[in-house]
Chain A
Amino acid sequence: MTSCCSVFYFRNELAVLQALSSTVQRVQWVFLFIYLAHVYIKAVYCEVMWKSHMFYYLLRFFFFFFFLNLYQDPTASHYRFQDDPYLTPRTASEFKLFSLSQESGRNAAKYIINTYPNFFLKDYAEPHIPCLMPESLQPKVTEVCEAGLRELIHLRKVRSAVDMYDRLLQAGTVVSLELTNNLLDLICFYGDQDPVQGDQAEPEKTAEGVRDDEGRFRKSDSLHRTWRKDNNAERIFHLMPERNERSYGALIRGMVKYGAHSKAFDLYTDMQNNRMAADVHAFNALIAAAPEVRQKYSEKWDLIAEMLKQMNKLGVRPTLLTFNTVLKSLLRCGPLSRALVLQVLGEMKALGIEPSLATYYHILVAFYRQGEWGFIPKNVLIVLLCLQCCSLKDLGLAYRVHSLLNVGDNWKLLGNPSREGFYYGSLFNLVCMMENIGVVLQWYRDLVPSLFYPNSHTMRDLLQALDADNRLDLIPEIWKDVKQLGLATVSGDLAEEVLALMARDEHSPEIQESFANCALAVKAVYGHGEQSQATLDFTASALCNMATILLAAGRTDQAWEILQLFKANNRVPSEKLLDEFLNSAKSGSNSEQAVTLVQMSSSFSLPATARLAQRVEQEFDLSEEQKKCMDQLPFEV
């Protein structure tokens, strides 16, 4: 009764809360707080009982939103780093370097702990902490017996286990079916080789046998294992006096995992001839292998459907994994996939199996239209969603996707830092395109540099957004960020764009001052850089823009220095620039400079030399020497 009342009372409030929580603006939480205070007072006034679950729902909602949003401090770096300016990473590469070096330090310590375990055996912890004890990877049982085999299987030592099994057979002991099945499982899982230890393989390549993530392209690297012909698994299988479903199942799954698809189907027909029923895991493996053994799309789908029918006949209940495998195999079936994928989803609903994120991922991939990025991010649902939003240019949808990240453990879905950077990059790109400058800057402050390090593409988008909203006065600060991120020397585009934007229009004096300082900072990036950094060569447009900015700010000396740089770097100044210089010389009444200008222009053989000379003669009072100099210059009449 009270809960009904509370729903009635709080219906409006709930709706408002939903709307507020869909954005991630941090300023909204202030309103949320005030709002909730109002809700509380209303609750007390209307004498709704404390235990009303609606109120708790609101409070929990509030805590979730409040703490989860305040959790992220936009001025700090990631919590894994130390809080010190020298130790904070400033670019994406530094982030990766620091986190990897910290991780490798941990691995070095683990290596020492496992190599000299006798120093780390003293137990100070009162309830024993097993994860802080050194790992013992050596088997303790040494003689040939079943317990030894069990231990070797537990320690995942494939070769030694096979060895021990052979010795047991030679000694004449009968190994139990259960144990043999365990051994078969081990061999088939690891593909008849020992699992690669953590320090031998790179973390990027998965250690236990490289399984294709999608069937899109196969990486042919040396770690890729295939199912060999003279396999220990098959040999032991044939040696077994009696086999049951589990043995067949293990072998089928191993074959599918390591690429022997047709053999798996042969074994399956074998099973059927012996009137054995495969279990759900074997069926999953066969469905995954189905697209590999047929060529035409329709045949592939027919085989998958055949497998499903047989599952039904045998009464094997499909699981979530079955349906995900079906979807994954459907993606290989070409144009059939779009219609069938939705049918599969319907089947899942009918069976009452809740779809997981992987399900939605496969469905999205089936419908994905290739946008400008030109590839599909593997296995990262959130990034895929964001890309969809970008290609559809839908900002509201993008905000909803982003708010998904705040729910529960979803932040883990972002994947490794490069994918995270990709996600935030595309999100920020969309925001720059669609929102006004205030919102863009808010996002920029929140995201950079605590959550992601932008690349030059993103910075260019930001500059365009600034341009569109006429906030060019923020350019010097943006340039500082660009330098700090290490993007300034990557390609000359950013520097040139910054200079072009600053030089384009007229601005107020203070802004011109800040632009002039910024232009000098940009100049430092060109030319001889410090400490063997990659430097950029001066380009004509960059030099022209620099000179224009300095002249507009009234710093004529520095502008003249830049003019000297033209000759030094073999670049030709534009005529407009020389006109501007002439104007400034006129305002300073400096005929020396004017004559120098004309000399310079003639040395570059500019077509405007004649016009400039004429202007100089008309507007300046020249002394005798200067007139002689002018006459000596070769003119093109």
Chain B
Amino acid sequence: MAVSFGGAGLILANHAVAHMSRTLCAVPRARAIHSTAVCCKHQAARIRVGKGDKPVTYEEAHPPHHIAHRKGWLSQHTSNLDRETGAAERTVEDIFIRRFIFGTFHGLLANELVIKRRGNMLVVCALFTQKIPAYKLYFLIGYTETLLSYFYKCPVKMEVQTVKDKVVYKYL
């Protein structure tokens, strides 16, 4: 049930005050706060079951509580171990890299990126569809590797696999 502090009270007040405030100054209007009851529901990284015509990959189909059971990790680094620092910076770098590659290889990503850090090196493992000819893909790979290397001042390697179409796990 929604409780609105604004509307009804103000009208009553207006009525009461209007009566005596015709001669006095006008009452200033106030903004209202709406609040609802809590809805105890998870909705992170889940695709809800629909009509059955929406193709969904394995990665997308499994919600996050299946990580370490049916899914692996998409970002592999050692910052989350005990007494290691830098987890937040790694996460921000990952987000940038994912957006960068999503934009550079526009429409080609068949699945989420897997980002691995080995020593100094950043290894970006990507799964692309075969929509563009191979030499164009090589151009983009060379471009990405160099640009990210200069950006993060560390060697960046791409390990690319290609697939005919997005691999559908089920239809939801």
Contacts and interface: CB of A to CB of B under 8 A. Distances in A.
Interface in A103-121: 103-106, 108-110, 112-113, 119-120
Given A105-B140, A106-B145, A108-B143, A98 B150 contact: no
Given A86-B134, A87-B138, A105-B139, A124 B152 contact: yes
Contacts of B146: 105-106, 109-110, 113
Interface string B79-104: 00000000000000000000000000
A132 B153 contact: yes
Contacts of A87: 134, 137-138, 160, 162
Interface string B32-48: 00000000000000000
A109 B162 contact: no
A81 B160 CA distance: 10
Interface in A167-220: none
Contact of A124 (B145, B154, B158): B154
A-side interface mostly: helix
The size bracket of the interface on B is 20 to 34
Contact of B143 (A82, A83, A106): A106
A558 interface: no
Contacts, number: 80
Contacts of A83: 159
A464 to B, nearest CB: 34
B141 A82 contact: yes
Contacts of A108: 139, 143
B136 interface: yes
A101 B135 contact: yes
Given A86-B130, A87-B138, A101-B142, A109 B153 contact: no
A28 interface: no
The size bracket of the interface on A is 20 to 34
A541 to B, nearest CB: 37
Contact of B151 (A98, A101, A120): A120
Interface string B144-172: 11110111111000111110000000000
A48 B141 CA distance: 55
B135 A125 contact: no
Given A82-B160, A125-B154, A98 B145 contact: no
Nearest to B127: A84
Contacts of B142: 101-106, 109
A97 B153 contact: no
A505 interface: no
B139 A84 contact: no
Given A82-B160, A87-B162, A108-B143, A134 B150 contact: yes
Contacts of B135: 97-98, 101
Contacts of B130: 86
Interface in A121-153: 123-125, 129, 132-134
B87 to A, nearest CB: 15
Given A105-B139, A105-B142, A84 B162 contact: yes
8 contacts: A86-B134, A87-B137, A98-B138, A99-B138, A101-B138, A101-B139, A102-B141, A119-B151
Interface of B: 130, 134-147, 149-154, 158-162
Q: Which 10 A-B pairs have the closest CB atoms?
A: A105-B142, A109-B146, A105-B143, A102-B142, A125-B153, A105-B139, A101-B135, A109-B147, A86-B162, A102-B138
